[in-house]
Each structure stands twice: as structure tokens, then as C-alpha cells.
Amino acid sequence: MASIYFYALSLTLLLLSISSPVRCFDLERTDNVALYWGQSSQAGNQEPLGHYCARDSVDILIISFVAKLSGNEKAPVLHIAPMTDGDMNYATISDDIQYCRRQGKKILISVGGYGSGYELNSPAEATAAANQIWGIFLGGGQGGGFQRPFGNIELDGVDLDIESPVGQEGVYWPVFIDQLRSLYQSESGRGGKSDWLITASPQCPFPDVILSPALLEKRSWFDMLFIQFYNNPCAPSNKESFNFNEWAEWARSSSLNPHVKLFLGTPANVAAASSGGDMPLQDLLAVASETMEDCENARVFWKGTSTNSTYNPFGGMAFWDASWTTAEMTSTVKSGLSGSWSKIAASGGAGSQFFKRAAQPVRDGETNAKVSRSRGARHVKSRIAANSSRHGHTIRRQGHQRRLHAHLNRRVSI
């Protein structure tokens, strides 16, 4: 009996000795990796949430989408595609969220995606919608009377992937954000969770058409932006119009949050963004490294006049979506970003020209946002590729893919 006990104890100690420590999420890093999860854009190949949280190379999972939002008596609608086995068990997802937390991951809920149904038409609607999201997914579930799909589990924050129809220019999203921030602060003031997050997924033309009221003039607080550098001319594959520099300058001079982090958003596969933006992974990592260095050189340049002298806005990379990724891929991304940052930090950001790429050309004195708006950038169209593995892809901008695969989703009113 004693020998059996000794063997069991030895095995336990061995396992503990070889297990790697859990890496806690650090918002200030430049090598964070985010994955959108929930839409299975590679049809039928989406693994459970916990599958992706098991990777040390992944830091943030964004559950997508709350596709119907309401500021009145209607309940929001959560769209999540079934797993590879066709299962859509919220209890299983809840268990996975708890597992992800134990692995040090941040889990966000994303509002938006393709289609209408989440427009905000007044300050009162915006406030009520924020209260609903708080009560259903975040910290307002205790006695709040809300039906919560994940039970008492509180997610870490909200992501805004806003694609309202033309004419809905986002006027009331700042009110939504203000109310959410107020709820966050009231919870922190009661001694509760204090690290709630507000993020957004704007398209790369600056400023995003619908989120511009929240982004400009230091209006609204964002912790992170997962900027979609694809399906648009400002993708990194277009070197002359790649415009991370515009967003970095906004972060330095015009963001309400002086420490906002910017992510290079990219498709995880060429088929995940059929209208352009995909690059070979090593080429993409080279762009990320150069962009990270640009931001660090800019930080050094502005150090003498900035009270925020240690801040580098580059936060990492975000991929649409998880179903296309492999553990090898995300590990390559993580090690590539970490290696680039180690070299840049060691060099001290020593004075090479920063923001090397030119800003996007402007036509006839118009801003890029106005050009996009005049083209009907937010028109909603459907495109069904019946005989393709991309079946059901829809359009993010006119002539471009949007990020919802509604035919795969099970609508659940919550």
C-alpha cells in the first residue's frame, strides 16, 4: 500500500513539475493574440470554446454575436453556430468559459455583425440596451430578472462590431458606452470586479463610419480596438494604403483612454476574407513587426512632450475566426510577436523613420470616412455560395464580406 501511495505522489509531483504556469492576461503587452469565436466561418469546423483556450498562445476569445439588440421590451438575440458535432449546449459553453478563466484568458461578448436589429434610435434606447447587456452577460445578473444563457458567469466585457444599415451613423453608441462604463464603475465601487473591458472592431478606413462619433474628439472610452485590416483597400497587402499609422496617431492624440491598445485584425485564412486582405503568415508577421517598431519609434520620438512616455499602442493580432486556426498557427504568431518585441525593446526604438507608409489618399478634400459613406459603404447584401466551403458568407461593406454566417446559427432569444 505504501509503495502505491509513493508512486501516486511521485506521479503527481512529476506532473506538477512539467506543467507550465498559467499566463495571466496583461493588457499592456504587444504580443496578445485574440480570436473571434462563435460563427464557424469555416463551416462545420468550429471546436468548442475550451479547445482554443487550451492554447498558451491565445489570450482573448470574443464570443460572436449578439446580433439583435433591444432597448425596449424585445429580448436580445444571441447567434452562435453549432459545434462540429452540431451541439449548441449553453451549459457546455459555460463550463468552457470557466475553464478559459482558469487559463488566464479574457472572454468578451461581441454585439453586432451582419444585418439590422441592433440600431439605437435614442439616448433612452442606448441606455436601456446597455442595461440589458450588463444584466444578461456581465455583472447585473444577481436578482436582475434577466435570463442569462451562461448562468451566473460574468464575462469580461463587451466588443462592438457595429454594422448598422445606411443612415444609422452611430450617434447613440457613445451613450451606450457611457452607461456601460457607469455600470462598470458602480460595480468596482462596491468592491466587485474592476477590470471590465470595452472594445470595438472598426473597419480600417479611418475613422470607421458608424463608430466615428464614439472614436473622435476623445468622446468614448475603449480599452482595445481590433481593427479589421481586410476587405478594404487599407489591408497590409496594399503597402501604400495600409494605415495603421492613422490609428496609432489617433491613439496618441485623440483617444479618451491614453493607454488604448490597437490590434492588427486579419483573416485567419484566405477563405475567411474573400474580398482581400489575407497574406502568407510569415509576411503578415513581418508587417506586424514593422508596425510594432513604427509605434515604438513614434513613442521614443514623442517621449519628450508626452506624459505617457512608456506607452506603445500596438497590442497584438486578432483573427477572424477561430475555426480556421490551428495550435501551430497561433503558436507561430505568438512567438513571432514576442520575438519581434524583444528585439525592438532591446534596440530602444532608436530613431529610424517611423510611420513609414503613406496615409490613404484623400479625394477632393474629403475624408476617407466620407468617401466610404458616399459609396454606400454600409449597404447590406447577401451572397450565398452554395457549392463552396464558404457557403453563407455575406458582405461587410458593399462588395465585401461581412462577418456573420446566419444559416449556421441557431437563433436564441435571451
Which three cell numbers mark 377? 459603404
Q: Is omega for the bond preceding 65 within 30 degrees of 0, making it cis? A: yes
- 265 membership: H or E segment, kind and range: strand 261-267
Burial class of 169 by CB neighbour count within 10 A (0 to 12, 13 to 18, 19+)? middle
What span, in angstroms and rounded, lies between the C-alpha atoms of 81 and 83?
7
Q: Is omega for the bond preceding 321 within 30 degrees of 0, making it cis? A: yes
DSSP 242: -
Burial class of 90 by CB neighbour count within 10 A (0 to 12, 13 to 18, 19+)? middle
**SS3 label, residue 407:** helix
What span, in angstroms and rounded, lies between the C-alpha atoms of 98 and 401?
33
Annotated active-site residue in 28, 47, 154, 163: 163
Query: Does residue 217 have an active-site annotation?
Result: no
What span, in angstroms and rounded, lies between the C-alpha atoms of 103 and 138?
19
Residues 150, 94 contacting (CB under 8 angstroms): yes
What span, in angstroms and rounded, lies between the C-alpha atoms of 185 and 83?
35
Comparing C-alpha atoms, which of 336, 223, 228, 222 is closest to residue 290?
336
**Parallel/antiparallel/unpaired status of strands 157-161 and 197-200:** parallel
Residues annotated as part of the active site: 163
